[in-house]
Amino acid sequence: NQTAAVIGAGIGGIATAIRLAVKGYPVTVFEANTYPGGKLSAFEEKGYRFDAGPSLFTMPQLVEELFILAGEDPREHFTYERLPDICHYFWDDGTWLTASANPDQFAQEVEQTLGEPAAHVRNFLQHSAFQYDITEQLFLKDSLHKASTWLSRKALRGYLNFPRLGVLGTMNQANEQRFQQTKVVQLFNRYATYNGSDPYQTPALLNMIPHLEYNIGAYFPKKGMVSITESLIALAERKGVQFRYQSKVERIQVRDGKAVGVVVQGQEIPCSIVVSNMDITPTYRKLLPTEKAPERTLQQPRSGSGLIFYWGVRREFAELGVHNIFFSNDYKAEFEHQFQYKTIYYDPTVYLHISSKIKKDDAPAGGENWFVLINAPANEGQDWDTIIAQTRQAILAKVSRSLGVDIEPFIESESILDPRSIELRTSSYQGALYGTSSNNRFAAFLRHPNFSSRIKNLYFVGGSVHPGGGIPLCLFSARIVAGMVPETSS
Ligand code: FAD
């Protein structure tokens, strides 16, 4: 009797459940919260709707793929649109730039506004595409922990192109070589934050990230980011997956070197395979306390976390778009504060996402739903209440200065998420948004594989394991896991 238990209904867990159900497994997903989605969830406050976590959506085909796999037409269940602008950038000296989604137009804008030759931007984006293309097969689509991956033709292409991939220098070094203008370096260095890393440490290989937005496209789901979770939950249910909420898994049962069940509220539920979508560190520490843990892997430094203010703002701002950035005057100092001093710099870069710009019913008429995120260090017991109070004032001052309007009087609702509450709500170790950091060139190899080499029938999916955090990579991890799970005999 082959059955699968999935621990956690984060995006990685839901996608795995769909894939296993399609493979013929009866699947039960155990979720600790009362709601699905983990970080990818939503809430409402005083008429404003907020997506609680992710706001940047790339590679929608990875979501669509799940519907197609299940024999359904994705357009009937999940719709999205391509954003005409990638981001509105603001600097304290009054410079601003709207980054068009059209790469040629964007390159022209950079030349006109920031004085960087358009050809430099075009060459960068071409190189970004090259880096992505070479690494996708090796790093994202397959397990790094199977010999077959390293012996493939794609791998050979990777070896031949190794010197051009940007594994040895840092992202900032590569961008300083490529661009003359510090604002352009800063604009592209920012992409390190897409997986919670530091551009002054992370390898230049991560310059492949802008390719996803500029060459493939930045998107937004018509019903909000949470509709990714909602539409996939509905799909999973149509495929027979059972979701059990408020069902925290306490143990993974192991007998004779095999995972044989999970324990929920003291009761053992037998199954033939277990997939943990819980962060890898608490999976070992809490669910497998008597098994030998891979200490070196678990001790890798965490990616950055976030401090998020959800503000219902009773006013509209024509100069703002769906995604906005107000840059710090000293980017290097900002990352030093985040990763070395483990605190938040007094002049932080502010990311402001306003979904009501595109999805009008997300805010009452005349208002905007502001999701304001500051990169924060992972939780190591800092004095968060003081940091939050200081950072709130810094954000208000910075954004008010840029927009020429005192923002605070227009805020009519406020909720806050910080590294502590992220950890509490999703069990992410230290509240990291993207599992372990990519701040060293071996990070990809030090992430935990998608299977256990000691315990048979035990698999791992989601942002804390290979290939890493963020929605697209979590969806890749589900694909890799499903590829490893044996076929059902039925
Ligand atoms: P998680 O979302 O971590 O969920 C894990 C689930 O498992 C939770 O529901 C938890 O309750 C459950 N669980 C844990 N332990 C147990 C247990 N013992 N028993 C039962 N259930 C358990 N990504 C992007 O692509 N774009 C973005 O713009 C972006 N921005 C972000 C902004 C914020 C504020 C945050 C928080 C994250 C952001 N991310 C972004 C990252 C992205 O949200 C995550 O990488 C991704 O959603 C993680 O999915 P996951 O599958 O690892 O599961």
In the prediction, which pLDDT does 438 show? 79
Res. 233 pLDDT band, cuts 50 70 90: very high
**245: three-class secondary structure by DSSP:** coil
In the prediction, which pLDDT does 150 show? 61
Res. 164 pLDDT band, cuts 50 70 90: confident
Give percent of the chain with pLDDT exceeding 70.
94
- Report the distance separating Cα 379 and Cα 303, nearest Å: 11
The yes-or-no verdict on residue 325 having pLDDT over 90 is: yes
| DSSP at 200 | T
The stretch 67-93 carries a mean pLDDT of: 97
In the prediction, which pLDDT does 314 show? 98
- Report the distance separating Cα 225 and Cα 355, nearest Å: 9
The yes-or-no verdict on residue 15 having pLDDT over 70 is: yes
Res. 276 pLDDT band, cuts 50 70 90: very high
Cis peptide leading into residue 364 (ω within 30°): no
For residue 307, the CA-to-ligand 1 centroid distance in Å is 15
Residue 202 belongs to what H/E stretch?
none
Tokens of 466: 């290979």
Cβ-based neighbours of 245, under 8 Å, separated by 6 or more = 9, 31, 33, 34, 35, 36
Q: Which of 308, 416, 412 is nearest to 368 (CA)?
A: 412
The yes-or-no verdict on residue 17 having pLDDT over 90 is: yes
Residue identifier of the C-alpha nearest atom 24 of ligand 1: 470
For residue 38, the CA-to-ligand 1 centroid distance in Å is 5
- The answer to whether the CB of 379 is under 6 A from ligand 1 is no
- The answer to whether the CB of 278 is under 6 A from ligand 1 is yes
Q: What b/e sequence results for 283-298 when a residue is b if at least 16 CB atoms lie within 10 Å of its CB, and e otherwise?
A: bbebbbeeeebeeebb
In sequence order, which ranges of 375-470 are alpha helices (DSSP H)? 384-403, 419-426, 443-446
| Chain mean pLDDT for the chain | 94
Tens of pLDDT, residue by residue over 381-406, are: 999 999 999 999 999 999 999 999 99
Q: Which residue has the tokens 């017991």?
A: 381
DSSP-derived pairing of the beta strands 219-221 and 242-244:
unpaired
Give percent of the chain with pLDDT exceeding 90.
87
| DSSP at 168 | S
DSSP-derived pairing of the beta strands 411-417 and 305-313:
antiparallel
Which regions of 319-367 does DSSP assign to beta strands (E)?
323-326, 350-354
Tokens of 139: 């790093």
In the prediction, which pLDDT does 403 show? 97
Residue identifier of the C-alpha nearest atom 18 of ligand 1: 249
For residue 197, the CA-to-ligand 1 centroid distance in Å is 17
- Report the distance separating Cα 473 and Cα 277, nearest Å: 13
Dihedral-angle region of residue 192 (phi above 0 means left; psi in -120 to 50 means alpha; beta otherwise) = alpha
Q: Which of 37, 53, 48 is nearest to 414 (CA)?
A: 48
Q: What b/e sequence results for 196-224 when a residue is b if at least 16 CB atoms lie within 10 Å of its CB, and e otherwise?
A: bbbbbbbbbbbbbbbbbbbeebbbbbebb
**236: three-class secondary structure by DSSP:** helix
- The answer to whether the CB of 12 is under 6 A from ligand 1 is yes
Whether the predicted interface score ipTM is above 0.95? yes
**Mutation test of ligand 1: which of 7, 39, 281 has the most ligand atoms closer than 8 Å to its C-beta?**
39
Res. 375 pLDDT band, cuts 50 70 90: very high
Nearest-atom number in ligand 1 for the CA of 58 is 25
In the prediction, which pLDDT does 171 show? 96
Q: Which of 34, 1, 32, 30 is nearest to 16 (CA)?
A: 30
Residue 31 belongs to what H/E stretch?
none
Residue type, 139: F
Res. 160 pLDDT band, cuts 50 70 90: low
Tens of pLDDT, residue by residue over 415-453, are: 999 999 999 999 999 999 999 887 877 676 788 999 999
**Mutation test of ligand 1: which of 426, 429, 460 has the most ligand atoms closer than 8 Å to its C-beta?**
426
Domains of the chain listed by start with CATH number:
4-34+245-298+437-484 (3.50.50.60), 39-101+217-222+304-433 (3.90.660.20), 120-207 (1.10.405)
